[in-house]
Amino acid sequence: MAAEKQYALASIFGPGRDELIDHTPHARHLGIRVVRTGPCEAVLKLPYRAELVGDPTRGVVFGGAITTLLDHCSGLAAACAMETFQAIATVDLRVDYLRAAAPGLDLYGHVTCYKMTKNVAFIRGVAYEHDPADPFASCQGTLMVGANPTASPFIRFNADGTEETSG
């Protein structure tokens, strides 16, 4: 019988822990928030702000902000699939826009890491307003695991989910 997989971030799976993405200035600038994490998955929220609108006539959020939401969600889903902390870098992310996102609403990304090898994480997910069964965009991609010799930003978390502090 195979042993149950141990996840490096297991102690902090659950409802929003924004510190999981706050290390990225771009995510902070866009206001991206963590809704939920779990084994091999993440759900993030991009709160609606008028400055994110790319089409003022229709009030539709700029596609680049949606791609960023899904990219950050992909990285977090891959981190949630790891047994040990390692750096992650997006190699390929394909985003298919199925329809325009509804104007004026918060947007969500839900990504699953469905396969993790020694060097590559494989992800797929959706972006939606209310219901993941009715997405306005879908994504799939690959992320390089151990892409950078520097420490993963998640290394600062202790096994109990608290952050290490210097001092």
pLDDT in tens, 39-96: 999 999 999 999 999 888 888 899 999 999 999 999 999 999 999 988 999 999 999 9
pTM: 0.86
pLDDT of res. 138: 98
Query: The tokens of 43 are what?
Result: 């759900």
Going by C-alpha positions, the residue among 145, 130, 31 that lies closest to residue 83 is 145
∠63-120-12 over CA atoms, to 5°? Answer: 75
CATH number, domain 10-156: 3.10.129.10
Calculate mean pLDDT across residues 118-127: 97
Q: Which residue has the higher pLDDT, 92 or 152?
A: 92
Calculate mean pLDDT across residues 146-159: 62
